[in-house]
Amino acid sequence: MSDPLPSDDTRLLLRDATLADERRVDVAVADGRIAAIADVGALTPADGASLNCLGGLLSPSFVEGHIHLDKTLLGLPLIPHRPGATVAARIQAEKDLLRTLPLSIEERGGRLIEQIVAFGTGAVRTHVDIDTEVGLSGLEAILRLKERFRTLIDMQIVAFPQSGILRDPGTADLLDAAVAAGANLVGGLDPAGIDGDVGGHLDAIFAIAERRSAGIDIHLHDPGALGAFTLRDIAARTQAAGLGGRVAVSHAYALGALDDATFDSTAAALARAGVAIMTNAPGTGPMPPVLRLRDAGVTVFAGSDNIRDAWWPYGDGDMLDRAAVIGYRQGFFSNDDLAHAFAMATALPAAVLGLPGYGLAVGAAADLVLLPCAGIAEAVLERPRARTVLKRGRVVAADGVLSGASAFGNSL
Amino acid sequence: MSDPLPSDDTRLLLRDATLADERRVDVAVADGRIAAIADVGALTPADGASLNCLGGLLSPSFVEGHIHLDKTLLGLPLIPHRPGATVAARIQAEKDLLRTLPLSIEERGGRLIEQIVAFGTGAVRTHVDIDTEVGLSGLEAILRLKERFRTLIDMQIVAFPQSGILRDPGTADLLDAAVAAGANLVGGLDPAGIDGDVGGHLDAIFAIAERRSAGIDIHLHDPGALGAFTLRDIAARTQAAGLGGRVAVSHAYALGALDDATFDSTAAALARAGVAIMTNAPGTGPMPPVLRLRDAGVTVFAGSDNIRDAWWPYGDGDMLDRAAVIGYRQGFFSNDDLAHAFAMATALPAAVLGLPGYGLAVGAAADLVLLPCAGIAEAVLERPRARTVLKRGRVVAADGVLSGASAFGNSL
């Protein structure tokens, strides 16, 4: 993310687009950035192309807050889901399955990247498994994908200890090596539930983050009071390390099932420390209460999490659909609440990921998605598939099809 | 439903389709019915048309188990949702809104019918508001829609007392008149929560059903033990009246939040009486546990409920999406469970509605939907929008577009 693309000389005039505030405007794009925003008809077309937006909604690109590019089974015939009795059994079952696949991470993950780019996602935070069996091989594949698709999508990588840290000795060193090799953040997984040692698990993560100046993004499924205890420990460590704004906790189901006093103290600790929460709006069980957390000062952003993989057969990576699912699960009915769901798939993850130049303003990166809707509420409710996607001012996808890209390539 | 369409002489050979059991077959259609099913290549094309299914999944049409055609705001620009403090306030707010709309029930409901036909729905149960203010006017509009769209969709109508029965004196007589005028079932609404009199409310409904030989479909949002009490009362009355198989309860959220003993006795009573449960898989709060009810012998079927109306801004009426939402909310991961979600949008509501000749078998009505999927699990997970829809053997929609239909017409 710290390495923006070199500008190119593409010029494009987007005519008659509707902005989030319902203003109808023309937007001029030059050198990969938004050069001007003006009333419809006020801009003189340059020598570049022009696109009639027909009053459609123009938004900054979707931002995928949590995905596992290395796990997806996309590109393969459906592999029926096999339930596992315990989390440990499911971790092992996934390892066994991934070892046997006829398609590589680059093939499967590349397919998923192409799919999410076509949906309008311009930046993604992906977690990649790091353990003593696969070592850094998954990270290396993801780094190759990041390079291969750099003209289509910005990528942030979390080194994710799917098999635990203390439970799988040697993993802490691998996480450290992963960050040295190009991962942007250190991940974690259920300090109590997986490693049985909240302090030990967090010690390892925060030590690497501080040593390498990396961010942190921890998977936390541990429920109730135990999850809340862990959240407060993460908040305290974040504050002590001065890492506010660079730490996220993914899932944090616990926040959806706390008594009021515990919720309030936990939310206050997260807000004070600058720890953000990622949710994919799970269908069963509790989830973080989005507006209550927002009102307490905690940023909650959206991610797809698993997509057609050994953990979860659902999903396609459409962040507009994710916004709608969040709204449906949280009872968002008003236009304001629907707009908040949209922000959870756009501006809020952009802020958490620290994307430079994100937004719809002069000077911002021209990473845009055009939707055939009259406004943001309609977009969330209708989730239209007909979209035009721009990256750095170039049209890279329209109506679900990448412009000039081969099935697994980046021939743009 | 008791009035099947006259046959026509359309002949069509559907080549190379995949059935639910994964068999690849050719399907011959004649006179609106399935005339033959055979191995690919085994049937000699008649003088009719032929359609290459390219191995896609061929299923009986979707069946919409619960919709409100008279309430939808489709066709209008988005009207922002206005929350109401109480159910009574929301009932009044809806009445006030519907009175002012520039589009009639026929225009709005007709638009929704066209939309769901294009999604592959071949039969629908719609609830229509009956109260002392609108009288039977809504029913009359719905009866006109039923006639206008009879070549595209079969329709079953529930006379629905949205404003209560006892609470709105005169409504019982109107419900009776509605059934005499063409409604197929008597509806109800929260006997305790709305009318404050479980026995009185159910007395009125069952009296009409017995007098008119009509079915029953009751909205029940009353929670917990109160909802369970009402369900057992409905079951007892159904059994006493010999109405088993003709009574449904819609929503029945209570079933999702009962202690085991109460759940078991309530489910057993419903199973014994032949009372089915409709769910739209609400996003917040409890919902009926689908597999637990199935295992207790209770049919749970799917419906969309509100679609872009004063109650609920979400929804588009796609029953395949509904199946996926049910699976997501119920934790359906295995292919068997995903197939059950699909059945909740096809065979199970067809049985509850008592559709004659439903299914994929020789002699059945050729009401079909073709999906570009290798199987049922894929269909639920991928929810493709590219579909070919047949009604009585004729292609009536493809890829979301009705064949030859005008925006609000039935010019097929």
The string of pLDDT tens digits covering residues B222-255 is: 999 999 999 999 999 999 999 999 999 999 999 9
pLDDT of residue A187: 98
| CATH code given to domain A62-353 | 3.20.20.140
What b/e readout covers B384-407, taking b as 16+ CB neighbours within 10 angstroms?
ebebbbbbbbbbbbbeeebbebee
pLDDT of residue A52: 94
Average pLDDT, whole number, for chain B?
A: 94
pLDDT of residue B49: 86
CA A352 to chain centre: 9
Q: Does position A397 have pLDDT exceeding 80, yes or no?
A: yes
Classified as helix, coil or strand, A111 is helix
Residue B331 contacts A where some CB pair is shorter than 8 Å? yes
Instruction: Judge: B381–A284 Cβ closer than 8 Å, yes or no.
Output: no
pLDDT of residue A71: 96
pLDDT of residue A162: 95
Q: How confident is the model at residue B56 (pLDDT cuts 50, 70, 90)?
A: very high
pLDDT of residue B89: 87
What number of helices (H) and strands (E) belong to chain B?
A: 12, 17
Contacts of A375 in chain B (CB under 8 A): 78
Residue B321 contacts A where some CB pair is shorter than 8 Å? no
The reported pTM is 0.95
Q: Where are the beta strands (DSSP E) in A20-164?
A: 24-30, 33-39, 49-52, 57-60, 62-67, 121-129, 154-160
Nearest Cβ partner for A333 among B81, B334, B374: B81
pLDDT of residue B412: 35
Q: Does position B349 have pLDDT exceeding 70, yes or no?
A: yes
| CATH code given to domain A11-60+358-400 | 2.30.40.10
**Is B220 in contact with B230 (CB distance < 8 Å)?**
yes
- Enumerate residues 6+ apart whose C-beta is below 8 A from A51: A12, A13, A14, A15, A370, A388, A395
Classified as helix, coil or strand, B174 is helix
Q: How confident is the model at residue A7 (pLDDT cuts 50, 70, 90)?
A: very low
Instruction: Judge: A334–B83 Cβ closer than 8 Å, yes or no.
Output: yes
Do domains B11-61+358-402 and B62-353 share one topology? The answer is: no
Average pLDDT over residues B300-327: 96
Contacts of B313 in chain A (CB under 8 A): 333, 338, 377, 381
Which percentage of chain B shows pLDDT scores above 70?
A: 95
Task: Give the Å distances, CA to CA, from A292 to A257, A271, B84.
Answer: 13, 12, 20
What length is written for chain B?
Answer: 412
pLDDT of residue B259: 98
A159 φ/ψ angles, rounded to the nearest 5 degrees: -80, 110
- Enumerate residues 6+ apart whose C-beta is below 8 A from A295: none
Residue A382 contacts B where some CB pair is shorter than 8 Å? yes
Chains A and B form CB pairs within 8 A to the count of 69
Residue with tokens 């637990």, as numbered in its chain: B292
Q: How far is A172 from A168, CA to CA, in rounded Å? A: 9
**Is A45 in contact with A27 (CB distance < 8 Å)?**
no
pLDDT of residue A10: 66
Q: How far is B236 from B275, CA to CA, in rounded Å? A: 10
Q: How confident is the model at residue A326 (pLDDT cuts 50, 70, 90)?
A: very high
Contacts of A81 in chain B (CB under 8 A): 333-335
Q: Does position B409 have pLDDT exceeding 50, yes or no?
A: no
The string of pLDDT tens digits covering residues B77-132 is: 999 998 888 888 888 889 889 889 999 999 999 999 999 999 999 999 999 999 99
Instruction: Judge: A313–B333 Cβ closer than 8 Å, yes or no.
Output: yes
Instruction: Judge: B333–A312 Cβ closer than 8 Å, yes or no.
Output: yes
- Enumerate residues 6+ apart whose C-beta is below 8 A from A23: none
pLDDT of residue B85: 82
Q: Which of A87-91, B165-169, B270-274 has the lowest mean pLDDT?
A: A87-91
- Enumerate residues 6+ apart whose C-beta is below 8 A from B100: none
Angle, helices B198-212 vs B171-181, to 10°: value is 30
Q: Does position B407 have pLDDT exceeding 60, yes or no?
A: no
Residue B333 contacts A where some CB pair is shorter than 8 Å? yes
Residue A50 contacts B where some CB pair is shorter than 8 Å? no
Nearest Cβ partner for A333 among B83, B327, B377: B83
Q: Does position A5 have pLDDT exceeding 90, yes or no?
A: no
The string of pLDDT tens digits covering residues A182-228 is: 999 999 999 999 999 999 999 999 999 999 999 999 999 999 999 99
Q: How far is A303 from A125, CA to CA, in rounded Å? A: 9
Residue A78 contacts B where some CB pair is shorter than 8 Å? yes
Residue B6 contacts A where some CB pair is shorter than 8 Å? no
Q: Does position A4 have pLDDT exceeding 70, yes or no?
A: no
pLDDT of residue A48: 75
pLDDT of residue B9: 52
Instruction: Judge: B331–A283 Cβ closer than 8 Å, yes or no.
Output: yes
Tell me the residue type at B320: L
Angle, helices A319-330 vs A105-119, to 10°: value is 70
Contacts of B385 in chain A (CB under 8 A): 385
Task: Give the Å distances, CA to CA, from B293 to B117, B289, B384.
Answer: 30, 6, 29
**Is A38 in contact with A74 (CB distance < 8 Å)?**
no
Q: Where are the beta strands (DSSP E) in B130-175?
A: 154-160
Q: How confident is the model at residue A328 (pLDDT cuts 50, 70, 90)?
A: very high
The string of pLDDT tens digits covering residues B4-31 is: 434 445 689 999 999 999 999 999 999 9
Q: How far is B157 from B292, CA to CA, in rounded Å? A: 29
**Is A379 in contact with A71 (CB distance < 8 Å)?**
no
- Enumerate residues 6+ apart whose C-beta is below 8 A from A406: none
Tokens of A322: 């994710």
Average pLDDT over residues B272-284: 97
For chain B, which residues make up each domain, given as ranges? 11-61+358-402, 62-353
Q: Which of A78-82, A124-128, B211-215, B303-307 has the lowest mean pLDDT?
A: A78-82
Q: Does position B190 have pLDDT exceeding 60, yes or no?
A: yes
pLDDT of residue B404: 60
Tell me the residue type at A153: I
Q: Where are the beta strands (DSSP E) in B101-181?
A: 121-129, 154-160
Q: Where are the alpha helices (DSSP H) in B149-197?
A: 171-181
Nearest Cβ partner for A329 among B284, B375, B377: B284
pLDDT of residue A411: 37
Instruction: Judge: B334–A80 Cβ closer than 8 Å, yes or no.
Output: yes
Residue B85 contacts A where some CB pair is shorter than 8 Å? no
Give the residue among B345, B277, B337 at the shortest CA–CA distance from B120: B345
The verdict on domain B11-61+358-402 having CATH code 2.30.40.10 is yes
- Enumerate residues 6+ apart whose C-beta is below 8 A from B18: B24, B25, B53, B55, B56, B57, B58, B374, B375
- Enumerate residues 6+ apart whose C-beta is below 8 A from A409: none
